[in-house]
Amino acid sequence: MKTEIIEITPEMARHWIEKANHNNPRKKINWNNVRKFAQAIKDGKWTTTHQGIAFDKFNLLVDGQHRLLAIIESGIAIYLMVTTGVSLDAVPDMDQGLKRDTATLLNIDDRCAGVVSFLTRLAISQRPSRHDLESMRSLVLDDTERLVSVCGSARPKISSAPIKAAFVFFEQKYNTKNLFNQYRDFVLLDLRKLETIQCVSTALRALHQRLTGQNGNTVRSIYEINAYEVFAYTIYALKNPNNISLKSVNVESLLTEGREFYRKFIPHQKA
């Protein structure tokens, strides 16, 4: 095998995807990963690591299609490790063990792992290393586990990682009493039942309506609201419980507040 660092242009990436990818054993594409990688490239936050792309002895792509698709998506050239001449015997073993996601890596519950992963990405604004994740785990796991123990119910959009992360952040920064009970009431809220509505603040009801599409807002679909905005809206709702609208949310300011709070706990990251 031979490995070297090469600047890969969108044209090169497109050629390899079109001409060398038809025999890729992991050809199923995760477009969320592609978009995430592409955004990191556009933001100038892509880091060249040992992970790159690989070709077998027939010059067929066997690893790295998501990175190549991200280069095409971003329209920007980046440097990647490129390995050629990978043995055919090695291909079936590539990335085929346990999925090395945060839950597996840190040996924690998947519901907690989502919070750890989200807050780490918020703090460092790039793909986290294991050290980054472990630092955040030590900081937030106890409170996250307590949140999940108060309410382990899952509701589409309502119990997502950014919302759990917002409640954990707010609890840690402001030491609010009974906050996790508010999370439980928010998750279990049924807008058709008065007894559940009375338990939830006006702002959290507005957020619930926004997330579930029940506020009649056809200007912007919930599917166009990214995870960081959901985090910011949740923080805003917790800070302003009596507000009936989310229109005046300063998303970047709230993200900065969360980022600065956690960034100091990731020692090698600079603000």
152-174 pLDDT, tens digit per residue, is 999 988 999 999 999 999 999 99
List the one residue out of 177, 93, 179 whose CA is nearest residue 144. 179
Could you tell me if 123 and 53 lie in one domain? no
Could you tell me if 54 and 109 lie in one domain? no
pLDDT exceeds 70 at position 95 = no
Strand 61-63, strand 53-56: pairing: antiparallel
Could you tell me if 137 and 155 lie in one domain? yes
Could you tell me if 128 and 220 lie in one domain? yes
Which residue range forms the structural domain that includes residue 10? 2-93
Helix (H) or strand (E) segment spanning residue 123? helix 110-124
Could you tell me if 87 and 140 lie in one domain? no
> What is the identity of the amino acid at 73?
E
Q: What is the pLDDT of residues 180-235, one digit of tens each?
A: 999 999 999 988 888 889 899 999 999 999 888 765 544 444 445 788 999 999 99
Q: How many CB atoms lie within 10 A of CB 208?
A: 22
Q: Alpha-carbon distance 257 to 252, whole Å?
A: 9
Strand partners, 80: 6
Question: Is the pTM value of this prediction over 0.85?
Answer: no
Q: Alpha-carbon distance 163 to 232, whole Å?
A: 9
pLDDT value of residue 70 = 94
- Plot region of 20 (φ>0 → left; ψ -120 to 50 → alpha; else → beta): alpha
Q: Alpha-carbon distance 134 to 218, whole Å?
A: 41
Q: Alpha-carbon distance 14 to 47, whole Å?
A: 21
Domain end, chosen from 93, 126, 141, is at 93
Cα radius of gyration rounded to whole Å, the chain: 21
> What is the identity of the amino acid at 220?
R
pLDDT exceeds 70 at position 4 = yes
Could you tell me if 86 and 113 lie in one domain? no
CATH number at residue 10: 3.90.1530
Strand partners, 53: 82
Residue 270 lies in a domain: no
pLDDT value of residue 117 = 93
